Amino acid sequence: MKFMKIVTWNINGVRARIDNLLHWLKESAPDIVCLQEIKTVDEGFPRFEIEALGYNVETHGQKGFNGVAILSKLPFDEVNRGLPGDDSDEQARFIEGVFSTDKGALRVVSLYLPNGNPVGTEKFPYKLSWMARLERWAAERLALEEALVLAGDYNVIPEAIDARNIELWLGDALYQPETRQAFRRLENLGFTEAVRSVTDQPDVYTFWDYQAGAWQKNNGIRIDHLLLSPEAANRFTSASIEKHVRAWEKPSDHVPVAIDLNLVAA
């Protein structure tokens, strides 16, 4: 039985990372990939090399910063760009794709939640308002009772166990009480957080800073998550963090986080 493999990866610049990305696509053979921080406009996205490996490509880019994309072996039935709820928000942090499977519709979101640092600037309330918009949007989508996967860089450390040295993050937007509470509110709408649902172990990380030897010291944090609707969670079979990618030449500071769902393309 072939399961559907869905992966989220903050690639930290898709043009700087194209060799890594192509090598990883061949090695990992995902069905659907959610990318964040592509850091390019749509026209600059290296789509042709990726399409040559059999992927459909949909992007929501922005000049210089942010930007998200979905790569899929399945054809897209529908694509939606931008998180609803604030027409004045220009930042490219959200793209949704809809696919057909043997068990009905599958909705997959690639999201790049605002970092929010430094706390005390306008960046932190922007993060919290973005999270409130995401919660409202997710509540509407859950009412559809479809398999829904919200995958991405949440910039949220959910619990102390999700950092090697939580003391280093106490003043950081990623671990503020308001941030963690907003993440719990989202989960408590009815989502399963895939990775934490299959392990209670510490030292499970998805990001290691480039600075101060964080990778060598395993000074990591777990901030890349996949939230599953009940219909997706019922098909969920396994999760894995592809940590070895962090040791490659010219790595992203994040690694791919993968799940398998017991679904096949329609």
Partner DNA sequence: ATGGTTGCTCGGCAA
Annotated catalytic residues are 112, 153
Nearest approach in angstroms of CB 87 to DNA is 20
Contact predicate 21/71, CB 8 Å: no
In the bound state with DNA, the residue whose beta carbon lies nearer, of 188 and 211, is 211
Instruction: Give whole-number Cα distances, 249 to 30, 245, 253, 260, in Å.
Output: 21, 9, 12, 27
Nearest approach in angstroms of CB 63 to DNA is 5
Nearest approach in angstroms of CB 64 to DNA is 4
Instruction: Identify the residue whose tokens are 């609803």.
Output: 84
In the bound state with DNA, the residue whose beta carbon lies nearer, of 51 and 65, is 65
In the bound state with DNA, the residue whose beta carbon lies nearer, of 88 and 188, is 88
Name the packing angle between helices 123-142 and 177-187 (round to 10°): 10
Which sign does the torsion angle of CA 204, 162, 60, 239 carry? positive
Contact predicate 231/145, CB 8 Å: yes
Q: Of 90, 91, 99, nearest to 70 (Cα)?
A: 99
Binding of residue 65 to DNA (CB under 7 A): yes
Which of residues 5, 39, 47, 222 is near DNA by CB under 7 A? 39
Per-residue x/- track, 126-165, DNA (CB under 7 A): ----------------------------------------
Binding of residue 123 to DNA (CB under 7 A): yes
Which of residues 61, 97, 114, 256 is near DNA by CB under 7 A? 114
Binding of residue 63 to DNA (CB under 7 A): yes
User: Interior CA angle at 74 toward 71 and 77, to 5°?
Assistant: 95
Residue 67 contacts by C-beta under 8 Å, 6 or more apart in sequence?
14, 36, 37, 38, 39, 40, 41, 59, 60, 61, 92, 112
Stretch near DNA under the rule CB under 7 A, chosen from 24-32, 79-87, 110-118, 131-139: 110-118
Applying CB under 7 A, the residues found at the interface with DNA are 12-17, 39-40, 63-66, 114-115, 117, 123, 210-212, 250
